[in-house]
Amino acid sequence: MLCVGLVAGFELMPSAWCVADDVDPHQRERVEQGSPVALDRAAAVMTVPPGFHVELVAGEPDVRQPMALTIDPKGRLWVVENDSYPVWNPSPKNRVVVFEASAGGGRTYRRTVFVEGLNYPSGVLVGRGGVWVVDAPNLLFYPMKDGADRPSGPPEVRLTGWSAKGVHNLCNSLIWGPDGWLYGCNGTIFDLAIGAPGTPEAQRVKLNRGVWRYHPGMRKFEKVAEGTANPWGLDYDEHGEFVMSNNVVSHLWHVLPGGHYPRVNWGNDSGPYTFEMIPTIADHLHWGGGDWTESRGGEGIHSVAGGGHSHAGCLIYLGDQFPARYRGTVFACNTHGHRVNNDRLEPNRSGLVARHNPDFLMANDPWFKGVSLQTGPDGSVFGIDWSDTGECHDVDITDREHGRLYRISYGKPVEAAKPVNLWSESSSRLVDLQRSSNEWMVRQARVVLTQRGLDRVQEGRVERMLAREKNPVHRLRALWLLASCGELHEEQLAGLLTDADPHVRAWAIRLSVEDAPTMPRFLSRFTQLARMDSSPVVRLAIASALQRVPVDQRRTMLEALVDHAEDAVDPNLPWMIWYALEPVVAKDPKAALEWMPRMKIPKVREWVARRVASP
pLDDT digits (tens, 9 = 90+) for 483-503: 999 999 999 999 999 999 999
**C-alpha dist (Å) from residue 398 to 57, 500, 549:** 23, 54, 48
Task: Determine phi and psi for 329, rounding to 5 degrees.
Answer: -90, 160
From the list 34, 47, 6, the residue with the least C-alpha distance to 363 is 47
Q: How confident is the model at residue 107 (pLDDT cuts 50, 70, 90)?
A: low
Contact 316, 352 (CB under 8 A): no
pLDDT digits (tens, 9 = 90+) for 382-423: 999 999 886 655 556 678 899 999 999 999 765 556 789 999
pLDDT at 287: 72
Name the residue with higher pLDDT: 195 or 288.
195
Which amino acid is present at 401? E
Residue 3 pLDDT > 50: no
> For residues 115 and 103, what is the distance between their CA atoms, to the nearest angstrom?
23
Highest mean pLDDT among 24-33, 104-113, 338-347: 338-347
**C-alpha dist (Å) from residue 105 to 21, 52, 108, 441:** 51, 20, 8, 20
pLDDT digits (tens, 9 = 90+) for 116-140: 999 999 999 999 999 999 999 999 9
pLDDT at 140: 98
Please count the other Cβ atoms lying within 10 Å of the Cβ belonging to residue 146: 17
pLDDT at 4: 23
Q: Where are the domains of the chain?
A: 1-34, 35-410, 502-615
From the list 379, 295, 394, the residue with the least C-alpha distance to 341 is 295
> For residues 208 and 202, what is the distance between their CA atoms, to the nearest angstrom?
16
DSSP string, 237-263: -TT--EEEEEESS--EEEE-TT-B---
Residue 289 pLDDT > 50: no
Lowest mean pLDDT among 36-50, 341-355, 506-520: 506-520
Contact 226, 261 (CB under 8 A): yes
Q: Which residues touch 342 (CB under 8 Å, ≥6 apart)?
A: 326, 329, 330, 331, 357, 358, 359, 360
Residue 12 pLDDT > 70: no
pLDDT digits (tens, 9 = 90+) for 456-477: 999 999 999 999 999 999 999 9
Q: Sheet holding 77-81: strands in order across?
A: 66-71, 77-81, 95-101, 109-116
CA atoms within 13 A on the CB side of 537: 18
Name the residue with higher pLDDT: 2 or 87.
87
Please count the other Cβ atoms lying within 10 Å of the Cβ belonging to residue 471: 11
Q: How confident is the model at residue 10 (pLDDT cuts 50, 70, 90)?
A: very low
DSSP string, 200-226: -GGGSEEEEEEEEEEETTTTEEEEEEE
pLDDT digits (tens, 9 = 90+) for 362-383: 999 989 999 999 999 999 999 9
Contact 530, 560 (CB under 8 A): yes
pLDDT at 19: 27
pLDDT at 472: 98
pLDDT at 397: 64
Residue 191 pLDDT > 90: no
From the list 196, 190, 191, 228, the residue with the least C-alpha distance to 211 is 228
* Nearest-5° Cα angle at 609, 225 to 530: 55
Q: Which residues touch 146 (CB under 8 Å, ≥6 apart)?
A: 73, 423
Q: Which residues pair with 4 in a beta bridge?
A: 14
Q: How confident is the model at residue 113 (pLDDT cuts 50, 70, 90)?
A: very high
Q: What is the mean pLDDT of residues 26-34?
A: 46
From the list 44, 41, 23, the residue with the least C-alpha distance to 32 is 23
Q: Which residues touch 576 (CB under 8 Å, ≥6 apart)?
A: 256, 258, 259, 278, 540, 543, 544
pLDDT digits (tens, 9 = 90+) for 44-54: 999 999 999 99
Q: How confident is the model at residue 304 (pLDDT cuts 50, 70, 90)?
A: low
Query: Can you say whether the dihedral through the CA atoms of 319, 353, 340, 131 is positive or negative?
Result: positive
Name the residue with higher pLDDT: 557 or 388.
557
What rounded mean pLDDT belongs to the chain?
Answer: 89
Which amino acid is present at 29? E
From the list 268, 259, 272, the residue with the least C-alpha distance to 614 is 272
What's the burial of 265, exposed, middle or buried (CB within 10 Å: 0-12/13-18/19+)? exposed
pLDDT at 516: 80
What's the burial of 391, exposed, middle or buried (CB within 10 Å: 0-12/13-18/19+)? middle
**Torsion angle of the four alpha carbons 510, 518, 129, 178, in this order, in degrees rounded to the nearest 10:** 10
Name the residue with higher pLDDT: 28 or 427.
427
pLDDT digits (tens, 9 = 90+) for 193-238: 999 999 999 999 999 899 999 999 999 999 999 999 899 999 999 9
Helix (H, G, I), strand (E, B) or coil at 414: coil
What CATH class is the domain 35-410? mainly beta
> For residues 141 and 183, what is the distance between their CA atoms, to the nearest angstrom?
15
Which amino acid is present at 511? L
pLDDT at 266: 67
pLDDT at 493: 96
Q: How confident is the model at residue 247 (pLDDT cuts 50, 70, 90)?
A: confident
* Nearest-5° Cα angle at 117, 111 to 120: 105
Residue 339 pLDDT > 60: yes
> For residues 3 and 20, what is the distance between their CA atoms, to the nearest angstrom?
10
DSSP string, 117-171: --SSEEEEEEETTEEEEEETTEEEEEE--TT-SS-SS--EEEEE---SS-TTS-E
- Give percent of the chain with pLDDT exceeding 90: 77
Q: What is the mean pLDDT of residues 438-456?
A: 98
- Give percent of the chain with pLDDT exceeding 70: 88
> For residues 130 and 418, what is the distance between their CA atoms, to the nearest angstrom?
24
pLDDT at 76: 97
